[in-house]
Amino acid sequence: MADPATVTTDAKRRHDPELRGFASDNYAGAHPEILAALALANGGHQISYGEDEYTQALQRVIRSHFGQTAQAFPVFNGTGANVVALQSVTDRWGAVICADSAHIHVDECGAPERVGGLKLLPVPTPDGKLTPELIDREAYGWDDEHRAMPQVVSIAQSTELGTVYTPDEIRAICEHAHQRGMLVHLDGSRLANAAASLDRPMRAFTNAVGVDILSLGGTKNGMVFGEAVVVINREAPRAMKHVRKLSMQLPSKMRFVSVQLEALLAGDLWLRNARHANTMARRLADGVGGVGGVEIVHPVESNAVFAKVPHDVAERLQKRFRFYFWDEAAGLVRWMCSFDTTEADVDSFTAALVEELGRQ
């Protein structure tokens, strides 16, 4: 057996740094300003579990975006943020109303239900967006002991289908939910993309319109890892610190999550990255929208493009660029752009699609 003292690492780049795809904004690396912030936070000792200087500084930044009552609880990932947030505002008999396309319903492996102990009440929507009328399909039976009690409405901004709520639409949802004794959770894994699309600050469609608690994304917008639960309504959550710990979402070296969020949010990096990703998605949609055999199926309002293409064309194209089928039976695909997608990436992809369509 080799002496551990003599073993050297063989760290080397194991991928092509020029490789690009359109599968997910999670495929992108980290923004250089985020990497610089991580290096800044490294070295020496800082108090663990959130009492460090970087987490305290993050609170000031969060309040500048979401109001003076806002408090951030950094966590490891988006699913963790959603589970922690929803657990903190529901009872054991509580239920959460959401769109049937919501990430918490279709992309989290049942974590809100199995880990959080929640009952999800999904509602079909044509565009991923709830309305007061759609909410009322499941907002009933509070005194019925045979039915899980609707306690929270969860919306996503932007939605899983790339669409974006206006501030007025979210205000209407919040007023409607509050009138019925329910709270509102916002899944904001792509909150920055929504703000860039609306050209409005994030507060305009969160604390300003009545959102109680939100999951704030960072990984999809240039961070290495990490998200945060942001409590806006301080009266809403129950024992948030304890819920975060028992849900295995309490980072011991929290400074390395907090400093990334601070670097992203203290200036305009969050907005620069999101605007660029949105612009590339719009360029992609414009490039393929007029091509015969391609149908854009949802409004391109953030950094996602949903399209129908012939199945064999999509399969061949996947060998040249990574992307996913959204609904393979229907020939529906999803193309995602990120902060590091370039115009050349988009144009090369468009040309490849046209070429594959020509091979039919």
Task: Lay out the sheet containing 149-156: strands in order across.
Answer: 71-75, 227-231, 213-216, 183-188, 149-156, 94-99, 119-123
For the segment 167-179, the average pLDDT, to the nearest whole number, is: 98
> For residue 5, is pLDDT > 60?
no
Q: Is residue 62 part of a domain?
A: yes
What pLDDT shows up at residue 301? 98
Q: Is residue 10 part of a domain?
A: no
Confidence label for 93 from pLDDT (cuts 50, 70 and 90): very high
What pLDDT shows up at residue 18? 84
Looking at the structure, tell me whether residues 169 and 316 fall in a common domain.
Answer: no
Q: Is residue 4 part of a domain?
A: no
Give the tens place of pLDDT for each residue, 215-227.
999 999 999 999 9
Q: What angle do CA 66, 69, 71 make, to 5 degrees?
A: 75
The Cα–Cα gap between 50 and 259 comes to 11
Looking at the structure, tell me whether residues 155 and 282 fall in a common domain.
Answer: no
Looking at the structure, tell me whether residues 71 and 178 fall in a common domain.
Answer: yes
Give the tens place of pLDDT for each residue, 317-330.
999 999 999 999 99
Q: Is residue 318 part of a domain?
A: yes
What pLDDT shows up at residue 8? 59
Looking at the structure, tell me whether residues 62 and 157 fall in a common domain.
Answer: yes
Amino acid, res. 130:
L
Looking at the structure, tell me whether residues 210 and 351 fall in a common domain.
Answer: no
> For residue 290, is pLDDT > 90?
no
Amino acid, res. 178:
H
What pLDDT shows up at residue 2? 52
Q: Is residue 350 part of a domain?
A: yes
Q: Is residue 78 part of a domain?
A: yes
Looking at the structure, tell me whether residues 44 and 149 fall in a common domain.
Answer: yes
Closest among 153, 208, 209 to 180, alpha carbons compared: 153
Q: How many domains does the chain have?
A: 2
Q: Is residue 275 part of a domain?
A: yes
Neighbours of 286 (CB within 10 A): 14
Give the tens place of pLDDT for each residue, 122-157.
999 999 999 999 999 999 999 999 999 999 999 999
| Boundary (domain end) residue, out of 265, 299, 314 | 265
For the segment 49-54, the average pLDDT, to the nearest whole number, is: 96
The Cα–Cα gap between 198 and 149 comes to 34
| Boundary (domain end) residue, out of 244, 265, 286 | 265
- SS3 for the chain is CCCHHHCCCCCCCCCCCCCCCCCCCCCCCCCHHHHHHHHHHCCCCCCCCCCCHHHHHHHHHHHHHHCCCCEEEEECCHHHHHHHHHHHCCCCCEEEEEECCCHHHHCCCCHHHHCCCCEEEEECCCCCCCCHHHHCCCCCCCCCCCCCEEEEEEEECCCCCCCCCCHHHHHHHHHHHHHCCCEEEEEECCHHHHHHHHCCCHHHHCHHHCCCEEEECCHHHCCCCCEEEEECCCCCCCCHHHHHHHCCCCCCCCHHHHHHHHHHHCCCHHHHHHHHHHHHHHHHHHHHHCCCCCEECCCCCCCEEEEECCHHHHHHHHCCCCCEEEEHHHCEEEEECCCCCCHHHHHHHHHHHHHHHHCC
> For residue 101, is pLDDT > 90?
yes
Q: Is residue 83 part of a domain?
A: yes
The boundaries of the domain holding residue 192 are: 32-265
Give the mean pLDDT of the chain. 95
The CATH number given to whatever domain includes residue 274 is 3.90.1150.10
Looking at the structure, tell me whether residues 287 and 146 fall in a common domain.
Answer: no
The Cα–Cα gap between 360 and 259 comes to 50
Instruction: Record the pTM.
Output: 0.95
Looking at the structure, tell me whether residues 175 and 236 fall in a common domain.
Answer: yes
Task: State the burial class of residue 167 (Cβ atoms within 10 Å of its Cβ: 0-12, 13-18, 19+).
Answer: middle
Looking at the structure, tell me whether residues 310 and 230 fall in a common domain.
Answer: no
Looking at the structure, tell me whether residues 221 and 81 fall in a common domain.
Answer: yes
> For residue 3, is pLDDT > 70?
no
What pLDDT shows up at residue 11? 78
Percent of the chain with pLDDT over 70: 98
| Boundary (domain end) residue, out of 241, 265, 289 | 265
